[in-house]
A = this chain, B = another copy of it.
Amino acid sequence: MGINERKERNKQEMRKQILSTAMKLFLEEGFQNVSIRRIADNIEYSPATIYLYFKDKDDILFALHNAGFEELYKRQQEILAIKDPKKRLRKHGEVYIKFALENPEYYNLMFIMRGPAKKIVESEEWNVGMRSYDLFKRDVEASMRAGIIKKSDIDVATFAMWSLAHGVVSLILRNRCTMMDPKDLPSIAQKAFEYIMKNIGISP
């Protein structure tokens, strides 16, 4: 019965190849240049073959979106080693912003593009984004319990801080910060986050 296993392995390998090629195109030439046909060209198969491994293009985007969340989650988990809730919460924001600016195409898929989100709603599948959200929420909760930030609705506070970080990076990624010098943007992004955190009670 080793044959079926090999076939399954091949199938998974093909999926991986498609995904890594799609990601490569994404990184090299941006979203608009990732077409099924170009992916097919790259892996030297016909476009129709892609459809044997993925239902449609959004399915590919969704898979990449999941890979992005894996990477983010990994970085988030490294933060857990920090014991001081205050430092941990700050670090959380810092890591999030850094991840976004260093991996704009992933971030795009994970938090901005519509395609992947459609799949989340459709598939009702357990959402990898939730895992990251919960991890952050637990940090917010810990800071509240420790009396570092004022007690209030945890979901509102978590959402507010997430929104802040997301707002900062998505305005930058979508080129809405023409009033600032492009080279200063990463630093301003961190400063803007710090500014609010400091006011909330998360001083450096």
- Residues of chain A touching chain B, judged by Cβ–Cβ distance below 8 Å, are 111-114, 117-118, 120-121, 127, 129-130, 133, 149-150, 152-153, 155-157, 159-160, 162-168, 170-171, 174-180, 188, 191-193, 195-196, 199-201
Contact = CB atoms under 8 A, between A and B. Distances in A.
A81 B111 CA distance: 37
A192 B120 contact: no
A199 B167 CA distance: 18
Given A120-B175, A156-B195, A170-B170, 13 more contacts: A111-B171, A121-B178, A130-B178, A130-B179, A133-B179, A150-B199, A160-B192, A163-B168, A164-B167, A166-B171, A196-B196, A196-B200, A199-B200
Contacts of A162: 167, 171
Number of copies of this chain that the complex holds: 2
Main secondary structure of the interface of A (DSSP, over half): helix
Nearest to A108: B114
A121 to B, nearest CB: 7
A170 B166 contact: yes
Among the interface residues A114, A150, A180, which one has the most CB atoms of the partner chain B within 10 A?
Answer: A114
A93 to B, nearest CB: 12
Nearest to A170: B170
Contact of A163 (B111, B121, B129, B171): B171
A156 to B, nearest CB: 5
Contacts of A117: 174-176
Contacts of A200: 196, 199-200
A127 B150 CA distance: 40
Nearest to A114: B174
Contact of A164 (B160, B178, B188): B160
